[in-house]
């Protein structure tokens, strides 16, 4: 059935592209800048109006570089360009040649109404649909007050975040996370995911489900690009915030920016403390002898953090810009946990009971340095050359001690210690060149080289005869080295109503893992081609269609490959697999966009075919379960997605996001079949209300259906978030209040049933309440310097 749906949708697209009568259109282009400094103005409104009646014949907003392109039926018209805080510009007597009209540079003159500028970013639409991506603007998401970057992602359409902190796109893993279009230490899985990134720093989140060949091929489900705020208004601008919450979520943040003719200096400073409690229950049952092990415990992730971002843009002249920036973060962790174990015999009687208490301390310094050079050429606004070099360093020095205390039955008392010395260095060198040969044809090409070098020194010691003795079977130094060399080229052809873009990327991967103690080595070297193709067609001003194809790869990461593990619960163990192979995905999608007077709708169908799928497979012995990632067969997933925004009244905005996918798994491992078919549904509904007295209120309901993995059934859950904002000082200040998971109903239960064993787990994070105050000065805007969530 799903094959028919995909082919029918593609056929429909081809019919629309080739069989529709094209109406006479005029394409109007230009660039909007601030007259006082020449800086581009993003999200300025451009309206094409009938010269005789003044009625609108088309409109758009400017992109981050101030550029715009809008089509309108041919005839006499004028253009109005407006933005809050600036005088509206009207352009008459427009010359049209060959169906095109270029307005050049449109300068807007400031009205001096800087207080109005403060609120405009916070009032942007939540989601904007573009040719190859969707842009989620964080400013209107009130429930993100006090939230982490992960919780910001959990509010983004098509994105879900599991209880373990894993990010999924359309219900699937293998997501590549970028920051400002580039890999970043603050989005590294080797620490806590997005460990130093807080919600106040995020301008928007771009969801790219079918990336072009210009992007890394990494990420079988697609790319999530987090765009950070960087103010460029002239003069001194800034914002300060203070937050407190329950459980502990206390922080102070400062954002500063200084813009002159030649320099743009920017910074983010923050310090805080937060804790993340979690209740965990597990049951391990050995069906061969009917013994059962029950564990119930509470874990904490307590963290004091310090974060500094410093950078500068140096405008050599109007055509050349140098950027230097650095990010330093330092985290001090305290991770206490307490777990009670109970072992039952086949008759259901308690054979033994004991407690396991953990004390863990760790320090995590992170560094990132970036150099970037951009050259704009005079012949065309989009003709540019961009070179960047990024170096990141991340290390972890962690020590843990575990103490078992027998309560009854067999003696389980004992002590263990673990030590982790982790270090990673990543270097990324990238060169991109964009050349429009005509107004219709644009070519992009570039290269990239990424080196990644990791060492993880891990040891386990047992307390024997009054001293700690290292356990050689659980101790090793794991080295991981990966170099990826890439080159790409794309070509885009734009005919106004219709456009097409094709590309090809070549990547060579050189990978080596070494277990030093056992002298085990795994070396891989492979070269792949990753084609991409995208097309779009605007049927009317209100209806557009888009289609896309790309091939992607998921390369196993360090924690997927490292066979050594944490001993927090030594009866439920997660470990890596040094022999893991990459998985590959062919992705197809077709989407349609409808813009109505009070509503915008987006409907899409997609299909993904993945080979060498990486799945965690659990084995069981003596009530100990060991989960390890393994390549298991193929996966075919076909889904539909629906996004909508509706404004029934001026003070009410409703948004909805629904994603359903049906998937078929095929695979076999050691004569065990993993064939099955299943489906999954995720949904989110949000209402934002503009109330009197400058108060905004937002309520969001989330639903995730139950779904099946190769071995487990994962439960469904529903939860609700609330947000409230009171604006002060004519928009410069705000009091923010948020409640996440209002009814503490986000409970994830997982059941694993096999012929020889049964396993059950339950995880609960609970309700989080945060109160904050923020104030912007200069031309800055209000912000919330917020806490964040730990992944591990």
The C-alpha atoms of residue 421 and residue 103 are separated, in whole angstroms, by: 59
**Do residue 78 and residue 163 come from a single domain?**
no
Q: Phi and psi (nearest 5°) for 124?
A: -70, 155
> Is the domain of 155 the same as that of 270?
yes
12 is a domain residue:
no
For residue 14, is it within any domain?
no
Final residue of a structural domain among 88, 112, 136:
112
38: domain CATH number?
2.60.40.3330
469 & 599 share domain:
yes
- Residue of 179, 186, 167, 197 lying closest to 786 (CA atoms): 197
State both tokens at 426.
């990543």
Token code pair at residue 350: 């308690």
31 within domain boundaries: yes
Q: Are residues 164 and 96 in the same domain?
A: no
**pLDDT, position 154:** 65
What per-residue confidence (pLDDT) applies to 191? Answer: 38
Residue of 734, 723, 724 lying closest to 776 (CA atoms): 734
pLDDT of residue 195: 44
**Predicted local distance difference test score (pLDDT) of residue 669:** 78
Same domain? For 140 and 77 the reply is no
pLDDT of residue 172: 63
Do residue 335 and residue 480 come from a single domain? yes
What sign does the dihedral 691-693-696-699 (CA atoms) show?
A: negative
Query: To 5 degrees, how large is the angle CA 571–CA 575–CA 576?
Result: 170
Q: What are the per-10-residue average pLDDT scores of the chain (792 residues)?
A: 41 40 70 76 81 74 82 82 78 81 83 31 46 62 52 68 63 70 55 50 76 80 74 67 91 82 82 92 94 94 89 87 89 94 94 95 91 89 91 92 95 93 93 92 95 93 92 90 96 86 95 89 93 88 87 86 78 88 93 82 92 91 89 94 86 88 89 88 89 88 92 94 85 84 94 93 93 74 37 28
- pLDDT at residue 213 in the model: 87
Same domain flag for 71 and 211: no
Q: Out of 112, 138, 173, pick the residue that ends a domain.
A: 112
| Dist CA 524 CA 508 (whole Å) | 11
Are residues 145 and 237 located together in one domain of the fold?
yes
Sheet of 624-631, strands arranged across: 572-574, 624-631, 614-621
CATH number of the CATH domain containing 646? 2.40.170.20
Residue 143 backbone zone (phi > 0: left; psi -120 to 50: alpha; other: beta): alpha
pLDDT confidence of residue 113: 31
User: Does the residue 10 lie in any domain?
Assistant: no
Q: What is the pLDDT of residue 102?
A: 86
Q: Are residues 348 and 427 in the same domain?
A: yes
Determine, yes or no, domain membership for 709.
Answer: yes
Q: Where among 79, 112, 145 does a domain terminate?
A: 112
CA distance 490 to 503: 4
357 lies in a domain?
Answer: yes
Q: What is the pLDDT of residue 124?
A: 39
pLDDT value for 85: 60
What is the pLDDT at residue 201? 62
Q: Which two tokens stand for residue 502?
A: 């094709």
Same domain? 600 vs 571? yes
Q: Domain count of the chain?
A: 2
Distance CA 272, CA 264 (A): 27
CB 257 within 8 A of CB 776: no
Specify whether 90 is located in the same domain as 139.
Answer: no
- The verdict on 608 and 718 lying in the same domain is yes
Longest CA pairwise span in the chain (Å): 96
Q: Are 661 and 628 in contact (CB under 8 A)?
A: no
Domain containing 97: what range? 24-112
264 assigned to some structural domain: yes
Q: Is residue 15 part of a domain?
A: no
């Amino acid at each position: 059935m799903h094959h028919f749906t995909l082919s029918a949708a593609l056929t429909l697209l081809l019919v629309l592209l080739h069989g529709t009568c094209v109406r006479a259109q005029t394409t109007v282009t230009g660039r909007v800048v601030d007259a006082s400094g020449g800086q581009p103005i993003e999200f300025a409104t451009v309206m094409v109006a009938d010269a005789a009646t003044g009625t609108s014949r088309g409109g758009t907003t400017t992109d981050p570089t101030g550029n715009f392109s809008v089509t309108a039926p041919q005839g006499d018209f004028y253009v109005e360009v407006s933005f809050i805080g600036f005088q509206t510009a009207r352009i008459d007597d427009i010359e049209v040649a060959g169906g095109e009209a270029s307005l050049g540079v449109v300068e807007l003159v400031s009205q001096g109404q800087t207080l109005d500028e403060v609120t405009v970013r916070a009032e942007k639409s939540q989601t904007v649909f573009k040719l190859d991506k969707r842009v989620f603007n964080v400013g209107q998401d009130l429930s993100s007050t006090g939230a982490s970057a992960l919780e910001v992602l959990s509010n983004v359409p098509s994105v879900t975040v599991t209880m373990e902190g894993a990010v999924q796109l359309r219900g699937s893993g293998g997501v590549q996370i970028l920051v400002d279009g580039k890999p970043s230490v603050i989005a590294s899985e080797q620490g806590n995911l997005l460990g130093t990134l807080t919600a106040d720093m995020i301008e928007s989140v771009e969801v790219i489900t079918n990336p072009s060949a210009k992007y890394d091929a990494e990420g079988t489900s697609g790319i999530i690009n987090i765009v950070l705020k960087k103010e460029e208004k002239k003069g001194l601008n800034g914002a300060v915030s203070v937050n407190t919450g329950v459980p502990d979520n206390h922080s102070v943040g400062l954002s500063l920016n200084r813009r002159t003719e030649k320099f743009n200096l920017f910074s983010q400073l923050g310090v805080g403390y937060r804790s993340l409690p979690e209740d965990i229950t597990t049951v391990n049952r050995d069906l061969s002898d009917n013994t059962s092990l029950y564990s119930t415990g509470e874990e904490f992730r307590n963290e004091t953090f310090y974060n500094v971002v410093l950078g500068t843009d140096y405008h050599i002249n109007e055509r050349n810009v140098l950027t230097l920036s650095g990010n330093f973060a330092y985290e001090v962790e305290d991770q206490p946990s307490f777990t009670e174990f109970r072992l039952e015999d086949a008759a259901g009687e308690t054979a033994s009971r004991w407690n396991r208490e953990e004390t863990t301390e760790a320090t995590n310094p992170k560094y990132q340095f970036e150099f970037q050079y951009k050259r704009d050429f005079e012949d065309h606004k989009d003709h540019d050359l961009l070179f960047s070099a990024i170096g990141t360093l991340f290390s972890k020095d962690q020590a843990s001690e575990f103490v078992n205390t027998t309560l009854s039955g067999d003696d389980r008392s004992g002590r263990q210690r673990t030590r982790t010395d982790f270090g990673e260095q990543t270097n990324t060198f990238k060169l991109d060149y964009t050349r429009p040969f005509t107004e219709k044809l644009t070519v992009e090409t570039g290269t990239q080289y990424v080196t990644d070098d990791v060492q993880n020194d891990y040891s386990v010691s047992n307390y024997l005869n009054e001293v700690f003795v290292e356990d050689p079977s659980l101790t090793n130094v794991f080295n991981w080295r990966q170099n990826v060399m890439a080159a790409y080229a794309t070509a885009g052809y734009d005919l106004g109503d219709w456009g097409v873009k094709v590309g090809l990327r070549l990547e060579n991967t050189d990978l080596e893992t070494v277990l030093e103690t056992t002298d085990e080595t795994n070396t891989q070297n492979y070269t792949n081609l990753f084609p991409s193709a995208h097309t779009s067609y605007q049927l009317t001003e209100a209806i557009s269609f888009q289609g896309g194809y790309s091939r992607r790869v998921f390369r196993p990461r360090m924690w997927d490959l490292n066979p050594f593990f944490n001993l927090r619960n030594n009866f439920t163990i997660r470990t890596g697999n040094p022999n893991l192979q990459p998985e590959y995905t062919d992705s197809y999608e077709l989407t349609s966009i409808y813009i109505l007077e009070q509503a915008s709708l987006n409907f899409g169908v997609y299909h993904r075919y993945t080979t060498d799928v990486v799945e965690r497979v659990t084995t069981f012995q003596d009530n100990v379960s060991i989960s390890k990632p393994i390549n298991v067969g193929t996966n075919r997933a076909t889904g539909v997605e629906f996004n909508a925004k509706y404004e029934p009244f001026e003070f009410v905005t409703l948004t909805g996001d629904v994603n359903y996918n049906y998937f078929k798994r095929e695979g076999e491992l050691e004569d065990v079949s993993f064939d099955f078919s299943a489906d999954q549904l995720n949904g989110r509904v949000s209402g934002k209300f503009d109330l009197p007295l400058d108060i905004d209120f937002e309520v969001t309901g989330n639903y995730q259906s139950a779904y099946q993995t190769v071995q487990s059934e994962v439960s469904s859950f529903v939860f609700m978030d609330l947000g409230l904002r009171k604006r002060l000082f004519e928009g410069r200040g705000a009091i923010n209040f948020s409640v996440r998971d209002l009814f503490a109903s986000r409970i994830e239960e997982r059941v694993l049933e096999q012929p020889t064993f049964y396993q059950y787990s339950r995880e609960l994070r609970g309700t989080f309440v945060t109160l904050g105050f923020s104030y912007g000065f200069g031309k800055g805007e209000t912000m919330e310097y917020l806490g964040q969530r730990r992944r591990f």
